[in-house]
Structure 1
Amino acid sequence: MKKRGSGILCHITSLPSPFGIGDFGAGAYEFADFLSEAKQSYWQILPLNPTNKRYFDSPFSSLSSCAGNTALISPQLLAAEGLLTQMEVEDHPHFPERRVDYPAVSRFKRQLFQRAHIRFQKGGVPEDYARFCRGNSMWLEDHALFTAISDHLGNLPLAEWPQELSNRSSEKVQLLREELWDEVEREKFLQYLFFKQWHLLKNYCNGKGIRIIGEFPMFMNYDAVDIWANPELFKVDEQKKPYLLAGSPADAFSAEGQLFNCAVYDWDGLRRNGFNWWIRRFHYLFRQYDFVRIDHFQGLTSCWEVPVGEQNGLRGNWQKVPTQEFFNTMLQHYPLFPVIAEDLGTIGADVRETMARYAIPGMKVILFGFQKEARERSYLPHLHPLNSVAYTGTHDTDTVTGWYQGAGDEERLELYRYLGRRVENGVNWELIRLALMSVAHTAVIQMQDVLGAGEESRMNRPGKAEGNWEWRIPTADLGEVASRLSEMTACYGRAQD
């Protein structure tokens, strides 16, 4: 990211499709074509790990460090492979067009996947499937078995599993592996499909000069397979129940701080393990993406640990992380280490020093330069460092239009002073222009801001558990906005060669 470029932030779930959720099918390829037409260099997405209805399908509540969200598998592509019939694909319920109905999508795709797996088994095991299983055996077997047992137990939280099942090496677990053989094999099959379809899409994007910026949650959900398989790496008790939760203190996003429903790492255990768990995690991340945004980068320098039982993130303590040893180890394995730090909110000097030492770019959210509760002059474009990424907003902020419609007179006047004129309509394009004008090497624009969408299209409202991660792009011709964005991108020297 050392040359000028720009991209769009839009999660896969937000793409158009007839199946209630964006996926790796035709809508994704059409979106890649839109990015190319608009002369964009990057497509940023949210984490692709599995989600769970218990945690409101947040992609930042990670149930596996390596597995993919199988809800993103395209039924259309399965039909093209002969694993589904066209009639089965077309016989789908009516889904909302503007939001994701996760439970309805899960019910529909589950029965499709069962049919696809039966046909797959009858056709014999192809070599690329066997190769996938061998190449991913370090995480795939545990993930598939954990998923099957969890379903068998009615999605009971890990901390409530019977002792004989919460112990990964118990005889009962091995017996259940045989009893649930078909369910285990189906999950392995779905992971194979997920990565096959994802890499086809990524290769298509790369062929058009579009690089993928992926993300991953800093912490693991306390129901994650990683805790079941590697409890010594997390602060959990003998029942795999965490006694401390990850969170963040009060900041501009939340006056009461945040609790992440995630266990915290035992960094002494990770160090004794040679940071192998993290080495493996980055191995898969760098295979999936061209660049990786590290959400809550603060967690790699110090962690806000909150005792279990607290109702918010206010009563916690900072725990130090062996930061330099960790990064030096990662650089031995990944010398380029193409990451972006999410350095928003309450950030200490240790974060700034780490980013400077390892030349890791941070984020500059232009909206923060004008929001009263978060106003910080360094977010304004003329003060952006070259080695940074300028954003109009993020999945955690309001859209530009939504912010402007709810902004007070003082905030609007601050924007007018910066622009040098009053603006009544099209404020989204004014902030897009500021992002593209920025001296930062990279600029990223929320898709909602490209469309001028309002507050109702926010992806996430921090501190509010329900009703998030549902926004979808309205079905519309994007040619006009592609043309406008293309012209502006070229004007500010960010267009693809």
Structure 2
Amino acid sequence: MTSKRISGVLLHVTSLPSIGGVGDFGPAAYTFVDFLAAGKQRMWQVLPLNPTGYGNSPYSALSAFAGNPLLVSLEFLVRDGWLSADRLQNLPPHEGPCNFIQAEAVKMPLLEQAAQHFLDHASDETRLKFQRFCNDNFAWLADYAMFDVLRRRFDGASWNDWPREYALRDADTMARLHRDNGRELAIVQAIQFFFNEQWCALRTYCGQHDIRILGDVAIFVNYDSADVWTHPEIFELDEDRKPMRVSGVPPDYFSANGQRWGNPLYKWQYMEDHGFEWWVSRIRRSLALYDITRLDHFRGFEAYWSIPADEETAINGQWIKAPGRTLFQKFREVFGQNLPFVAEDLGVITQEVDQLRIDYDLPGMRVLQFGFSDRGGHLYLPHQFVPNTVVYTGTHDNNTTLGWWQDNATPVEKHNLQTYLHPIEQDADVVWAMIKCASASVAETSIIPLQDVLHLGSGARMNVPAAPDGNWSWRYTPDQLHPDLSEKLAAIMVMTDRDGYVPPAANA
């Protein structure tokens, strides 16, 4: 038996200080896990690991199933013999913001070289392992490989702009592609195998240090994705396979026009009639990658904001009911009674959404930064928490705690925070005050963005929602993971009973 009370750190893999332009599964990831273990952290939360599309957002993926090739470590490909060490010379350094364009330009040719060498020289045992991976993931891997090959052939154009026979997946055309481009398709699959092997090794290392992975599944998928191209029948598309209605959220206090995300909506009735097969496959893939899955925009499983595709804003949408209860019952039938999910239930949440989460025993999320404006925000403060909660100082969509305090918090919020906690004499004091507040709460899980642990300001913010540029690029530097920080974290974990210790009486 172990204590349910745990703490973890939110850090996307791209924020690791790896060579090649973006963070990856290489040596820096293992150093970070060591830092987590030293700080008695027992969870690592990552953002979606899928290949990214527009704006390099992990929530704007080219596939809901595939892994992002840029997360594959070139250093480990050298270690494993698939790439020569001299190929790593003159790669972008491990310092500075992520440069996705540069990483794509320098890493992809090397990944393809490694894949070619792998296909030509792998041992019989390794080939068997690769074949098993391809067989186990055939439901998405074969189509993703074709999508990737075609997307590069047509200079990155969206699939709906490809020649009609490819866009509509003409059977003879697809058969010819498979027959004539077997090597290209195998290279894509080999890179996915590299991704899987390296991620599974890192996850195993986490497990050896009693650290679980909290992953992330975005509720919607991109229109320009392998998923929509492969399964147009499950989305609200017209006869030309263009979206009829798209996703978003209605106008609110933060946005007079709402947010028009633009993802195609699901044909929920069709999905239900077919046993939610696609969603079951998606969750099965998620549970193969993560120990626990955060369901982004959980309220969309109860009802979603449906916007006519020709509308430029989200104003003229409407709420449409979704079969969330039937879907989650299906998940229980397939994956067991205790679903390993966290419900992202931030924002304006109805009683029906709350009840769906409660009925399926899913922890909700609370963000401390939201709690200090007025009485309406008090549900985000610890005195209103229940144990089945994940508390955050802030998320990837928030400013860092220090940045929020210095640049965003109103005088009222600053006054209320100091009333609730204690006077803040120096700006930096707010960071550990919030970390201690989250850790001391009754919430069974507490998550702290690494930027807060490192006392970083607004320049380290990961994402500004609705901002078109400048997001997802923050990376820390190796020297910032100072042992003093892990020691301070560890001390707080001991005092708030998040270190895994169970009193002897609990074992009686």
Does TM, scored on the shorter chain, surpass 0.5? yes
Q: Residue 348 of structure 2 aligns to a residue in which SS?
A: coil
Q: CA deviation at 1:352?
A: 0.4
AA matched with 1:118? Q
Q: CA deviation at 1:253?
A: 5.2
State which of 357, 369, 372 in structure 2 corresponds to 1:370.
372
Q: Deviations over 1:389-432 (max 9, x none)?
A: 01000011111101100223221111111113343232111100
Distance 1:248 1:25, change over 3 A: same
What is the match of residue 433 of structure 2?
430
What is the match of residue 222 of structure 2?
221
Question: Residues of 2 paired with 1:116 and 1:323: CA distance?
Answer: 43
Question: Residues of 2 paired with 1:142 and 1:310: CA distance?
Answer: 31
AA matched with 1:63? L
Q: Structure 1 residues 422-431 or 263-272, which shifts more?
A: 422-431
CA contact (8 A) 1:355 1:361 kept: yes
Paired residues for 1:114-129 under 5 Å: 114-124=112-122, 126-129=127-130
CA contact (8 A) 1:253 1:462 kept: no
CA contact (8 A) 1:24 1:198 kept: yes
Q: CA deviation at 1:375?
A: 5.5
Paired residues for 1:175-324 under 5 Å: 175-251=176-252, 254-324=255-325
CA contact (8 A) 1:61 1:262 kept: no
Distance 1:96 1:123, change over 3 A: closer
Q: Deviations over 1:258-303 (max 9, x none)?
A: 2223111110110121101111111111111110000000111111
Please, what is the CA RMSD of the aligned residues? 1.6
Find out whether 1:494 has 2:493 as its counterpart: no
Q: CA deviation at 1:464?
A: 0.8
Question: Residues of 2 paired with 1:393 and 1:414: CA distance?
Answer: 17
What is the match of residue 504 of structure 2?
none
Distance 1:254 1:460, change over 3 A: farther
Q: Deviations over 1:417-456 (max 9, x none)?
A: 1113343232111100100011111100011111111111
Query: Which stretches in structure 1 are left out of the alignment for 5+ residues?
Result: none
Question: Residues of 1 paired with 2:116 and 2:206: CA distance?
Answer: 32
State which of 445, 462, 465 in structure 1 corresponds to 2:465.
462
Figure out how many residues of one structure are paired with residues of the other and give that number. 493
Distance 1:463 1:304, change over 3 A: same
Q: CA deviation at 1:96?
A: 7.3
Q: CA deviation at 1:376?
A: 0.6
AA matched with 2:463? N
What is the match of residue 506 of structure 2?
none
Q: Deviations over 1:303-344 (max 9, x none)?
A: 111112333322211111112211111100011210000001
- Normalising by the residue count of structure 2, what TM-score does the alignment of the two structures yield? 0.94
Question: Residues of 2 paired with 1:349 and 1:179: CA distance?
Answer: 55
Q: How many percent identity over aligned positions?
A: 37
Q: Deviations over 1:84-110 (max 9, x none)?
A: 111112331x45723111000001111
Q: Residue 223 of structure 2 aligns to a residue in which SS?
A: coil
Paired residues for 1:37-436 under 5 Å: 37-52=38-53, 55-92=54-91, 94-95=92-93, 97-124=95-122, 126-251=127-252, 254-335=255-336, 336-371=338-373, 376-406=377-407, 407-425=409-427, 426-436=429-439
AA matched with 2:356? T
Question: Residues of 2 paired with 1:150 and 1:468: CA distance?
Answer: 24
Question: Residues of 1 paired with 2:380 and 2:38: CA distance?
Answer: 29
Q: CA deviation at 1:114?
A: 2.0
Q: Residue 470 of structure 1 aligns to a residue in which SS?
A: coil
Find out whether 1:444 has 2:443 as its counterpart: no
CA contact (8 A) 1:254 1:463 kept: no
CA contact (8 A) 1:252 1:345 kept: no
Q: Residue 43 of structure 1 aligns to a residue in which SS?
A: strand
Q: Structure 1 residues 74-83 or 111-120, which shifts more?
A: 111-120
Q: Residue 58 of structure 2 aligns to a residue in which SS?
A: coil
Query: Which stretches in structure 2 are left out of the alignment for 5+ residues?
Result: 502-508
Question: Residues of 2 paired with 1:2 and 1:33: CA distance?
Answer: 21
